[in-house]
Amino acid sequence: MHKAQFTNPAISVVSPGATILTRELLVRGGAASLVHRDEPDVRLLSDEQRRTSLDTFMKSRPAGDLWIFAYGSLIWNPALRISERRVAEIHGWHRSFCLSMSVGRGTPGQPGLVLGLDRGGVCKGVAYRIDERDVSSELPILWSREMLVGGYNPIWTDLIGDGGEKFGAAIIFTIDQGHDNYAGGISLQEKVRRLAIAEGSWGSSADYLFRTIGSLREHGIHDVEIEHLGVMVASAAFEAFGEAA
């Protein structure tokens, strides 16, 4: 683990050896190849399973523009063709580090954590509008990333603007509480420990956390719980890896 990345939670530093999930890499199916580097025997959804999931999901698409709601890594790395972005709020869900990752942001021996939308509360994030001509190209890319492990349930939900108005319906990726990787019940101490030290082929869990904090701040979003978690993780990482050079 590269200890210098923990000096400030607002600083985004890519872990040494990490691979950014670019649009080009996702189109080539590179996300799956990377996680197999962390765990050769990992069970992922197949291309056919993801296509079926997407086709089935789109049958319930509401009328109007297509939006995607970003609450974590999609804010700082959407890797999609985007026509418009707006700060937005959704009701009935909150961001939480509740998806255990033994690949990508961790390894089987040291699983990491990434964000999911868990039930209850309100979540403020960034909404991306996808132009209609790009829907057929962009959603398979999105599914190849968000539905790789299969820990999310995609659903449609209303987007609420700053003035309280509903301006569209968005795809959101909610956590599947029945999935083996659901980690909503772990203690705060264990959550901090995992975020502080876990690292995989996509980078460290800490980097994921700090990038999310930084991108939320850039959009004027202040998430008290995530900010507090960042302070705790930075402190824990400092204790684990020593003072940065």
Please tell me the predicted confidence (pLDDT) of residue 244.
43
Residues in the chain: 245
Instruction: Encode the chain (245 residues) as per-residue pLDDT tens digits.
Output: 444 344 444 434 445 556 788 999 999 888 888 888 888 888 888 889 999 999 999 999 999 999 999 999 999 999 999 999 999 999 999 999 999 999 999 999 999 999 999 999 999 999 999 999 999 999 999 999 999 888 999 999 999 999 999 999 999 999 999 999 999 999 999 999 999 999 998 899 999 999 999 999 999 999 999 999 999 999 998 887 764 43
Composition of the chain by helix, strand, coil, percent to 5: 35, 25, 35
pLDDT at 18: 64
The pLDDT value recorded for residue 241 is 75
Please answer whether residues 26 and 81 qualify as being in contact, where contact means their C-beta atoms are separated by less than 8 angstroms.
Answer: no
Q: What is the DSSP string of 21-50?
A: --HHHHHTTHHHHHHHHH-TT-----HHHH
pTM: 0.90
Tens-digit pLDDT profile for residues 130-171 = 999 999 999 999 999 999 888 999 999 999 999 999 999 999
Decide the pairing of beta strands 166-175 and 199-200. unpaired
One of 146, 190, 199, 218 is an active-site residue; which one? 146
The pLDDT of residue 189 = 97
239 classed as catalytic: no
pLDDT at 16: 54
E strand or H helix that includes residue 168 = strand 166-175
| CA-closest candidate to residue 119, choices 87, 96, 138, 103 | 96
- In order of start, what are the domains of the chain with their CATH numbers? 3-241 (3.10.490.10)
Residue 245 pLDDT = 30
